[in-house]
């Protein structure tokens, strides 16, 4: 048995897609027959232009071959990303050539890797398993200017339709996505395997409760700084409301980082520190040193369906969570995680009021960690994928 796995991000890159796919490959290797092999075609680490990691272009491991496609440097702009993806797609088609596979697995947040998986699976005549991490068609109407949306949305809607209909099964990482997909593709086979908590965070979870004694409380955000997070529309405002009481640290990079930096200057917020991306082990240390972990999604309808992967690693570290989210994310956080404060996105007045609900204590969340361990979720996803392959080969 030979499986092709397509993911734009893979270890050692810094992204939710990378961590998820790497964990899935490990689970597949554990469950597949000894004579089965996996070909991963991904890219050279490229999540952030300001943070680079070295990785071999070809990595040969027992039962696993990883091809990493080098890309031109990009700065998270749509044109740059489109150019990078075209380079990736061209190389994927070249590498696949006339090779035979029993199945294709493609994971995608912006639809294009999923559509590439559909093209490849049709060309080589094998079933396609899709892993959808975002609803791109739903998102572009909110994050792109109207002059582009009216042209691009019909095009991407068609691509989405052709892609989803080509899949034998579609996994979505948020149950909030199901109404969208089931309404449009009632004949589709949809399942839900969420993101989860990686071993590094499980191993770093607190073993007992500890109350912060800091006079000035440190609030940490770590991750992408794009339009989707909208940090430039909330962090400077909150920093001024909590001047002298809170210090905000933002670690990461993205398409709206400059706007965040400019907003901090314009609002004269002196209690905000913006840092570049860091390695995962250093990130865990930063989490542990913080008093409160901050999460925010911009006030767009599309984001009412998502469940950010950040939620899982935040929760594992036992810190209070302050989250500006709505819809499914807000419901999930309130229902599943203790010691949280949820406020409406971009509403700094409500955010200030909600902060009083937090108990500034680091405490273990053993039940949550046990339920949402990445290893367990990926084992179940791998089992589902393998069962699909077997059913299609009968």
List the end-to-end C-alpha distance of the chain, in Å, as a whole number: 14
pLDDT tens figures, 8-56: 999 988 788 999 999 999 999 999 999 999 999 999 886 555 455 678 9
Within its chain, how far is the Cα of 109 from the centroid? 8
Closest C-alpha among 190, 142, 123, 89 to residue 300: 142
- Beta strand 128-132 with 2-7: parallel, antiparallel or unpaired? unpaired
Lowest mean pLDDT among 33-47, 99-113, 175-189, 249-263: 33-47
pLDDT at 307: 96
Residue 75, pLDDT score: 56
Domain 2-196+374-393 matches domain 199-371 at the CATH topology level: yes
250 pLDDT above the threshold of 80: yes
Tell me phi and psi for residue 121, to 5 degrees.
-65, -35
CATH 3.30.565.10 fits 2-196+374-393, yes or no: no
The pLDDT score that the predictor gives to residue 80 is: 72
Model confidence pLDDT, tens digit, residues 271-324: 999 999 998 889 999 999 999 999 999 999 999 999 999 999 999 999 999 999
Q: Residue range 148-167: average pLDDT?
A: 92
329 band by pLDDT with thresholds 50, 70 and 90 = very high
- pLDDT of the residue at 198: 94
**Residue ranges per domain, the chain?**
2-196+374-393, 199-371
Bridge-based pairing state of the strands 361-362 and 210-211: antiparallel
pLDDT at 76 over 60: no
Check residue 191 and give its pLDDT: 98
- Measured CA to CA, the distance from residue 53 to residue 171 in angstroms comes to 29
Q: What is the mean pLDDT of residues 147-155?
A: 85
- pLDDT at residue 140 in the model: 85
Q: What are phi and psi of 245, to 5 degrees?
A: -115, -35
Q: What is the pLDDT of residue 394?
A: 64
Share of the chain above pLDDT 90, in %: 84
Classify domain 199-371 at the CATH class level.
alpha beta
Q: Which pLDDT value is given to residue 72?
A: 72
Residue 47: predicted pLDDT: 58
């Amino acid at each position: 048995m030979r499986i092709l796995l397509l993911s734009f991000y893979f270890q050692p890159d810094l992204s939710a897609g990378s961590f998820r796919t790497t964990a899935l490959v490990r689970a597949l290797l554990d469950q597949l027959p000894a004579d089965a092999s996996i070909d991963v075609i991904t890219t050279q680490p490229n999540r952030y232009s300001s943070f680079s990691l070295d990785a071999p272009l070809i990595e040969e491991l027992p039962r696993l071959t990883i091809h990493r496609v080098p890309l031109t440097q990009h700065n998270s702009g749509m044109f740059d990303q489109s150019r990078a993806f075209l380079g990736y797609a061209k190389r994927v088609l070249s590498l696949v050539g006339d090779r035979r596979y029993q199945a294709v697995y493609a994971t995608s947040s912006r639809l294009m890797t999923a559509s590439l998986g559909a093209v490849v699976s049709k060309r080589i005549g094998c079933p396609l398993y899709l892993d959808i991490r975002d609803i791109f068609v739903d998102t572009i109407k909110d994050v792109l200017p109207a002059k582009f949306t009216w042209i691009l949305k019909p095009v991407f809607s068609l691509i989405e339709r052709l892609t989803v209909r080509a899949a034998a099964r579609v996994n979505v990482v948020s149950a909030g996505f199901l109404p969208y997909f089931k309404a449009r593709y009632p004949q589709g086979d949809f399942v839900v395997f969420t993101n989860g908590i990686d071993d590094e965070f499980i191993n770093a979870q607190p073993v007992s409760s500890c109350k912060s004694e800091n006079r000035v409380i440190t609030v940490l955000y770590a991750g992408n700084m794009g339009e989707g997070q909208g940090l430039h529309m909330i962090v400077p405002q909150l920093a001024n409301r909590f001047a002298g009481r809170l210090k905000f640290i933002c670690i990461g990079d993205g398409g709206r980082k400059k706007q965040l930096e400019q907003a901090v200057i314009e609002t004269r917020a002196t209690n905000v520190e913006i840092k570049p991306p860091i390695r995962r082990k250093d990130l865990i240390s930063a989490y542990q040193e913080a008093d409160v972990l901050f999460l925010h999604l911009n006030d767009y309808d599309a984001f009412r369906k998502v469940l950010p992967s950040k939620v899982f690693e935040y929760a594992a570290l036992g810190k209070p969570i302050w989250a500006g989210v709505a819809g499914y994310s807000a419901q999930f956080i309130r229902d599943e995680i203790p010691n949280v404060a949820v406020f409406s996105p971009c509403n700094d007045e409500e955010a200030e009021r909600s902060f009083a609900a937090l108990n500034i204590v680091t405490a273990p969340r053993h039940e949550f960690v046990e339920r949402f361990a990445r290893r367990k979720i990926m084992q179940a996803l791998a089992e589902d994928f393998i069962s699909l392959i077997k059913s299609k080969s009968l």
